[in-house]
Amino acid sequence: MSGSDTAPFLSQADDTDDRPLPGTPGLPGSLGNSKSEDPEVPDGEGLQRITGLSAGRSALIVAVLCYINLLNYMDRFTVAGVLPDIEQFFDIGDSSSGLIQTVFISSYMVLAPVFGYLGDRYNRKYLMCGGIAFWSLVTLGSSFIPRERFWLLLLTRGLVGVGEASYSTIAPTLIADLFVADQRSRMLSVFYFAIPVGSGLGYIAGSKVKDVAGDWHWALRVTPGLGVVAVLLLFLVVREPPRGAVERHLDSPPLSPTSWWADLRALARNPSFILSSLGFTAVAFVTGSLALWAPAFLLRSRVVLGETPPCLPGDSCSSSDSLIFGLITCLTGVLGVGLGVEISRRLRRSNPRADPLVCAAGLLGSAPFLFLSLACARGSIVATYIFIFIGETLLSMNWAIVADILLYVVIPTRRSTAEAFQIVLSHLLGDAGSPYLIGLISDRLRRSWPPSFLSEFRALQFSLMLCAFIGALGGAAFLGTAIFIEGDRRRAQLHVQGLLREAGPTDDRIVVPQRGRSTRVPVSSVLI
């Protein structure tokens, strides 16, 4: 375990003071040079010297992390690909089906802060290895549950959250410690390609494995074997880079973790982090709802249009819509993530607020297309697929950008904690409850109408329209982020360079005059 992973933290300051040290460059009122001095971006040789890893090895580490990210999302959405069969097997309704995803996301959300705390202080490689091994075992076990034990399926899906939490909070911080500036943005875009591609592969694998095996249980037995490969790759390929070293000057002291409460206070005072997390919460709400319910909605639409027979008890449900939706998710994810990163990179040259503005444009643009996809479903399934394609492309534009925003407005020793609490917020108010909420609204609407295939379709159609409204609210949150992004990014840079003071506990400070005005400083700084 490297030194950066075992640095003492119990004796660190429990508060931070965001006032610049005398002579800090680039801030109004500073006594130093008024010219802004951004930290120098190291070249390839500089990165290798700092991290101790060659460019090829760093790229290989990112490739392994991408593979695991793809596997995580593939497993998450395999269940959605065979959801009609699960409903039949366990004889459950829409609200209980939505609970499958809600239980998983809730567990993931609760465990994320734990792994965020550990990821900022201990070896990230071993944390990920343990979590993914446990996730693989639990996922395999969930495929052997008998039909009278639906509660056991819920329990195992909840335990799967351990592996996801151990990985999702930590992996982006490893990439941040290997690359900087545009290199980091490009690597993050590659990393986040795995989310829509893995989600799409989950639908495809779930539906096709079920068709080949003739049993939906086999769809849940694909990813555990791939998870064993992931653990081996992590153990053999990934090495732990020093935290934050690529972002500070050579003569700057290394950053040490502060207390957990100090981290939380600092994050709560960071408006760019809070607002971008709220915007991402809207993305999670919409994608979580669509991920679980879109294939079922498309199937009901085709039944109403007379294009496919209904899914009756004892029959195998049609999997063509899961397959098509999976392909759309893959294509729109690759297109949307790549488009968002490239547009943002070009706009950054003339507008430092480009990142949140691109995210806002993506969310605000996706809302009307998602609404149209629902409104047209009873008239034309082709038009529905076209509008879904456009809406999901716009929605996918912000995956990598949101991660990049977090990494440059939060200092390295707080990033895993920040990732964890962004996960908590986005899932608590987003996809932890949205699948269940959509299913619950659908069930309530169905009870008020005469039983029919049309009423099942209309109930789910109306409940999914909530997604368009939530997407518009998320766009407004990203517009708010654009107001604060420049100042918060600059403050994070100055912290890393050692130009902002890390003060001790509040009760260990006294007020002394400094250059004509009172200033709070630690007692130790004035003792002789």
User: Minimum mean pLDDT among 279-288, 294-303, 313-322, 350-359: which range?
Assistant: 313-322
Are residues 369 and 437 both part of a single domain? yes
Do 179 and 312 belong to one domain? no
Task: Give pLDDT, residue 274.
Answer: 95
Residue 45 falls inside a structural domain? no
Indicate if 221 and 365 belong to the same structural domain. no
φ/ψ of residue 500, rounded to 5: -115, 140
SS3 20: strand
318 and 210 within one domain: no
Within a domain: residue 20?
Answer: no
Instruction: Please report the pLDDT score of residue 261 as a whole number.
Output: 86
CATH number at residue 164: 1.20.1250.20
Q: Are residues 284 and 207 in the same domain?
A: no
Closest CA to 439 of 423, 463, 419: 463
Residues 317 and 374 in one domain: yes
Stretch among 45-49, 254-258, 367-371 having the lowest mean pLDDT: 45-49
Q: 266 and 219, same structural domain?
A: no
Would you state the structure tokens that stand for residue 284, as one six-digit string? Answer: 């999670």
pLDDT at 95 over 60: yes
Residue 296: partners with Cβ closer than 8 Å, 6 or more residues away = 83, 84, 460
Q: Are 154 and 99 within 8 A, CB to CB?
A: yes
Domain C-terminal end among 195, 215, 243: 243
| Amino acid letter for position 154 | L
Q: What is the pLDDT of residue 86?
A: 83
Q: Scanning the structure block, which residue is given the tokens 């977090």?
A: 406
Q: For 245, which DSSP code?
A: G
Is 283 part of any domain? yes
Query: Which residues are paired to 521 by β-bridges?
Result: 510
Whether residues 466 and 343 share a domain: the answer is yes
Domain span at 193 = 50-243
What is the model's pLDDT at position 317?
61
The pLDDT score that the predictor gives to residue 305 is 83
CA distances in angstroms from 86 to 74, 99, 219, 230, listed in the order given: 17, 12, 11, 27
- Confirm whether 17 is domain-assigned: no
Query: What pLDDT, in 10s, does the model give residues 435-474?
Result: 888 888 988 898 888 888 888 888 988 999 999 999 999 9
In a domain, 15, yes or no: no
Q: For residue 18, tell me if it sits in a domain.
A: no
Domain's final residue, options 243, 275, 299? 243
pLDDT at site 361: 95
Residue 217: per-residue pLDDT: 82
* One domain, residues 202 and 318: no
Domain end, chosen from 243, 273, 288, is at: 243
Tell me: do 201 and 68 sit in the same domain. Answer: yes
| Total structural domains within the chain | 2
- Residue 469 placed within a domain: yes
Q: Is residue 3 part of a domain?
A: no
pLDDT tens digits for range 53-66: 777 888 888 899 98
How does DSSP classify residue 511? E
CA–CA gap between residue 146 and residue 271 (Å, rounded) = 48
pTM attached to this predicted model: 0.68
106 shares a domain with 205: yes
Do both 140 and 197 map to the same domain?
A: yes
In Å, how far from its chain's centre is CA 205? 22
Residue at token pair 């700084």:
525
Q: If you average pLDDT over each of 7-16, 259-268, 504-513, which comes out highest?
A: 259-268
Question: Which whole-number Å values give the CA distances from 294 to 204, 329, 377, in the listed order?
Answer: 14, 11, 11
- Return all residues near 148 (Cβ < 8 A) that are at least 6 apart: none
